Amino acid sequence: MIEKGRESLYHDYLEIIDLFRSYLRRKTKTEKNQRYQKQGNNAGEENSRVLLGNLYRSIKSCQKCSLHKLRNNLVFGAGNPDTELMLIGEAPGREEDFQGRPFVGAAGRLLTEALERIGLSRADVYIANILKCRPPGNRNPQPEEIEVCFPYLERQIEIIKPKLICTMGNFASQLLLKTSQGITHIRGKIQCYKENTSVIPIFHPAACIYKPGWGRNFLEDLMMVRDELGKRNNSKKIV
């Protein structure tokens, strides 16, 4: 009897998560189309996909820094071009370089699971990195690499127009927020990025694999992100 009760609670829970997801998808599409219609463009949704495709084609053979010599694939970004939530990491690793998609290795699995726990799938969000090509041996991005690559990410943000950006780890957080403060100090604090877009820095999922206890913080911060998106959708007030 108790088992049955638990099972039906679990099914209710899954149903609520499903409803939340489809609500977010519908809401995002409608709002974005309304925004574009105001600007005299009827194909808002189509537009960000097309613009991202154009951007990808224009940079896929990029040779602006030495990383192109070692890459198997440029890792542009993946997900929903009309999302309200972008997640930004540092640079592709080995697996990402092979597959040409962001966060598909161990850190990616942790991220995917955490997103699912807050009721989102990877298809609901857009994931990208500061660098589009893998630094050898996963070393830190160099200033000259960031200088030439960051404008590509800025253009992606401009096209997608997310309400919230989660910067994952020190690199992405410090770069977008123009701060030298470490992630342990700034994680979970909402800050303004540009008009209509805020940033919430969170731990990098790769760090959560090695640091006991950080996984819990990672999930808590993502729950806060989910709540923040919910609040913005209810009140229509965009910071």
Task: Kindly list the residues in this chain that would bind ligand URA in the complex (CB under 6 A).
Answer: 89-93, 96, 102-103, 105, 107, 129, 206
Q: Give min distance, CB of 235 to ligand URA, in A.
A: 32
- Best CA proximity match to 107, nearest among 205, 201, 173: 205
Amino acid identity, position 65: C
Q: Give min distance, CB of 88 to ligand URA, in A.
A: 8
- Tokens, residue 124: 């609901």
- Tokens, residue 83: 């999302």
Which CB sits closer to ligand URA, 81 or 92? Answer: 92
- Best CA proximity match to 168, nearest among 191, 188, 193, 192: 188
- Tokens, residue 145: 């690499």
CA distance 222 to 60: 31
Q: Give min distance, CB of 66 to ligand URA, in A.
A: 19
Q: Give min distance, CB of 105 to ligand URA, in A.
A: 6
Which CB sits closer to ligand URA, 91 or 157? Answer: 91
Give the number of other CB atoms < 10 A from CB of residue 42: 11
Q: Give min distance, CB of 121 to ligand URA, in A.
A: 17
Kindly report the backbone phi and psi dihedral angles of residue 135, in degrees, each rounded to the nearest multiple of 5, phi listed first: -75, 140
**Residue carrying the six token digits 């200033």:** 143
Which CB sits closer to ligand URA, 44 or 93? Answer: 93
Which CB sits closer to ligand URA, 27 or 211? Answer: 211
Which CB sits closer to ligand URA, 17 or 219? Answer: 219
